[in-house]
Structure 1
Amino acid sequence: MDQRPPPSGEAPGDAAITARTDAYFNRTRAIVRRFGDCHVTYAVFLRRPVVSAPRLMLEWLEGVARSRGTRFDIEVMHPEGTWVGAGDPILYLSGSLVELSDLETLYLQKLGPPCVAAHNAYQMCLELPQVAFLAMDARHCAGAEMQEMMAYAASVGSEAARKEGAKGFIGNATDATARWFGAPRGFGTMPHALIGYAGSTLRAAEMFHETFPDEALTVLVDYFGREVTDGLAVCHRFPELAAAGQLAFRLDTHGGRFLEGLDPAESYAVLERHAPGAIRRYRSETELRHLVGTGVSAAAIWRMREALDAAGFPRVRIVASSGFGVQKCRVMADAKAPIDVVGTGSFLPDIWSETYATADIVAYDGEPRVKVGREFLLRRNGKRKRNGPSPA
């Protein structure tokens, strides 16, 4: 699968860069122009461990260099998809201080968030290596540029996990960013709004199938709080799709209630039948909620699987969504929850301050120099270690 789409977009002009960069960088450029340029090297890093995802930043810098008629030397120390330790430079960026001094604000914006999101996506895929993931982050993104960064990040984290045997992300929800997953378009069938419009879960499934008869059918089943009842009704209406593995149910049960037929006691009973050890190993209230609580718990997924199998529909798949981040994936793995696909936007960083990337100049005209406290960024014997270990 090609995960390297061609660069898109045009190089920004100086006016756009000036308008969106920090004023003190613009003033630095003016001062250096007046008193004389010099050749500098920046070390670019994050303060937390991440998976390297520098491509969008690199493409942007290449575009700026072309538009300014200059050249930037970029030495990537940790190639895309590899693990980077906290404070370890992802890359060194060298060139004219006049041409680089006003770019820091914008290129850092394009590095930090993808690196953290890639790390989260990588961890999620490894927690559930036999499960396929769909990136459903678009509605949680702050505009088109963030959508691009997050789709790219999920593809990088997914590819790193695939190298360790995981299925990883098979696609995402929007056409505009589907290319990052080697897909021609986004995936998805129906939102809750279609169920409300149709008036019943079964009618919504019929409408979708009539409109898109050649596509696999994934049906939301929580709208009326009858996940099992409505799911089985759809199975009986479309037995051929069910038998062919072309029918799936998406569980998105609200965190304010239990899946149909469950309560605390029955949730414990379900897990006792299928994964008794998971209950004995839980370590926090959050983990317990993921196991036997309201919403899309491990018990809820096991209950849906039980009902489908008992009714003779073992090939109907289960798509789980709602709050699937690293921790929830880990709990589901421990409970051996029978999930076929996870729909998630929760690889997006939880704490935005963790995404802040930083750059410091570490050499001026070849002379090593950096502010006190950042000596760890200096090149060792002229070079730093190029590659870190595999992501972990």
Structure 2
Amino acid sequence: MPLKPETKPDVTKLVPPAQAAELERQIAAHTDAYFKRTKAIVQRTGDKTVTYAVFMRRPVIFCPRIMVEWLEKVGAARGVTFKIELLHEEGTWVGAGEPLLYLTGPMSQIVDLETLYLQKLGAACVAAYNAYSMCCDLPNVRFLAMDARHCAGAEMAELMAYAASVGGKAARRDVGAAGFIGNATDATAHYFGNEKGFGTMPHALIGYAGSTLKAAELYDETFPGEQMTVLVDYYGQEVTDALAVCNRFPEAANEGRLAVRLDTHGGRYIEGLDPQASYAVLERHVPNAIRQYRTEHELRWLVGTGVSAAAIYHMRATLDRAGFFNVKIVASSGFNAAKCKVMASVSAPIDIVGTGSYLPDSWVETYATADIVAYDGVPSVKVGREFLLRR
């Protein structure tokens, strides 16, 4: 749904006085002191209409919605018209240094908002870029955003979920990728068109049950007939436990309602593999993979410990030999854009990727910046930022 290039307070959605007062308390508490002092000076000396240019120093996927909604709410609470001119559509790739939007309003009402609206923009734009990159690298794989527990609070979790949905949609638009189909929490599931978050069991349930099979049985008893994804690495018996669950639930396995999730940590190989066996697996399935030059990281993702390409091929071959062709493989643990690219290069048989900490990765690059570029309609910006002026 495209965002409007300009927005004005909707008199039908004026913020009640108590909510407006609380909003002002939050702004005062969380904005930088120098912005508050500037506001006081402007209020005392005389107001001006200013225009800000907002930009980022790296390429991003544009994610303005949460920021815009917040500015609309503040404008309604203050009874002020903020002109928000979005220069790109949501989900559009924007280059480093290109203005993302122009924001115009009375300086006395807008100068103390910079800290907070930038917080709601930069991280989302970078996370969407990360999501977009992964989806483009593995266009036939579906993605789940499992980053909520890696986030610094609910507000960041909302930014990441929104970003993953936008990045996934952009990849779907540009390369026909499956993209992100959902996330792990109910609160932000709506960004993906869902009512609830996805996910069946953590390692804690396996430990509680005492076995992987018992955990699957408990899940099925509690949520009968539902799609079930079973973690199989808890006891280091990925293959044995995966087959045990498939044999216990053959109907679900044959109907495609059963998946196994590989989440083996980087401290060991999955059951049945070691360095030599991992090389042999790839030699059977993608013989040219190892012959290409690879970095140390790439080799680890191909034949190393944890959830490697060899591990995924090994699990797929095991399931197929047992006749469980419709059981899906969910891969997680350390999936970033670079790992996705390596998996794509060898056509690793992944059905779904669960990605967590990578969405908010490269935090030093998430900073959005705003500079005033006009005072009462007269262009003016600090030296070196002339590229932000309207053309």
Q: TM-score range by the shorter chain?
A: over 0.9
1:234 to 238, 245, 254: 245
**Residues 186 and 282 (structure 1), Cα distance of their counterparts in 2 relative to 1, 3 Å cut:** farther
Query: Is the counterpart of residue 372 in structure 1 residue 357 in structure 2?
Result: no
The answer for the alignment partner of 2:173 in structure 1 is 163
Secondary structure of 2:289's match?
helix
**In structure 1, how many angstroms separate the alpha carbons of the residues matched to 2:144 and 2:90?**
21
Q: CA deviation at 1:284?
A: 1.1
1:335 to 342, 346, 356: 346
The answer for the alignment partner of 2:161 in structure 1 is 151
The answer for the alignment partner of 1:383 in structure 2 is none
**Equivalent AA in structure 1 for residue 234 of structure 2:** Y
**In structure 1, how many angstroms separate the alpha carbons of the residues matched to 2:224 and 2:360?**
38
**In structure 2, how many angstroms separate the alpha carbons of the residues matched to 1:48 and 1:283?**
27
Q: CA RMSD in A?
A: 1.5
Count the aligned residue pairs. Answer: 376
Deviations 1:361-385 (A, max 9, x none): 00111111100111111111xxxxx
The answer for the alignment partner of 1:178 in structure 2 is 189
Q: Is the 8 A contact 2:2 2:89 kept in 1?
A: no
1:1-392 equivalence runs, <5 A: 13-164=23-174, 165-380=176-391
Secondary structure of 1:174's match?
coil
Deviations 1:154-191 (A, max 9, x none): 00001101112000011110111111110110111111
Tell me the TM-score normalised to structure 2 length. Answer: 0.94
Q: Is the 8 A contact 1:370 1:378 kept in 2?
A: yes
Secondary structure of 1:101's match?
helix
Q: Is the 8 A contact 1:3 1:179 kept in 2?
A: no
Q: CA deviation at 1:281?
A: 2.6
Q: CA deviation at 1:18?
A: 1.2
Q: CA deviation at 1:14?
A: 2.0
Secondary structure of 1:370's match?
coil
Unaligned runs of 5+ in 1: 381-392
Deviations 1:170-218 (A, max 9, x none): 1110111111110110111111111111111111111111111120111
**In structure 1, how many angstroms separate the alpha carbons of the residues matched to 2:234 and 2:258?**
18
Q: Is the 8 A contact 2:146 2:354 kept in 1?
A: yes
Q: CA deviation at 1:335?
A: 1.2
Question: Which runs of at least 4 in structure 1 moved beyond 4 Å after TM superposition?
Answer: 9-12
The answer for the alignment partner of 1:389 in structure 2 is none
Deviations 1:285-336 (A, max 9, x none): 1111100000000000000001001111111110000011101100110111
Q: Is the 8 A contact 1:112 1:356 kept in 2?
A: yes
**In structure 1, how many angstroms separate the alpha carbons of the residues matched to 2:57 and 2:272?**
47
Secondary structure of 2:291's match?
helix
Secondary structure of 1:44's match?
strand
Secondary structure of 1:13's match?
helix
Secondary structure of 1:95's match?
strand
**Residues 113 and 195 (structure 1), Cα distance of their counterparts in 2 relative to 1, 3 Å cut:** same
The answer for the alignment partner of 1:388 in structure 2 is none
The answer for the alignment partner of 1:387 in structure 2 is none
**In structure 1, how many angstroms separate the alpha carbons of the residues matched to 2:207 and 2:333?**
19
**In structure 1, how many angstroms separate the alpha carbons of the residues matched to 2:253 and 2:61?**
39
Q: Is the 8 A contact 2:127 2:361 kept in 1?
A: no
Deviations 1:233-259 (A, max 9, x none): 111111111111111100001110001
Higher RCO (CA 8 Å, separation ≥ 6 residues): 1
**In structure 2, how many angstroms separate the alpha carbons of the residues matched to 1:40 and 1:376?**
17
**Equivalent AA in structure 2 for residue 84 of structure 1:** V
**In structure 2, how many angstroms separate the alpha carbons of the residues matched to 1:15 and 1:228?**
56
Deviations 1:66-110 (A, max 9, x none): 100110111101111001111111000011011111000000000
Q: CA deviation at 1:3?
A: 11
Q: CA deviation at 1:346?
A: 3.6
The answer for the alignment partner of 1:384 in structure 2 is none
Deviations 1:123-174 (A, max 9, x none): 1001110011011001001111011100000000011011120000111101
**Equivalent AA in structure 2 for residue 54 of structure 1:** P
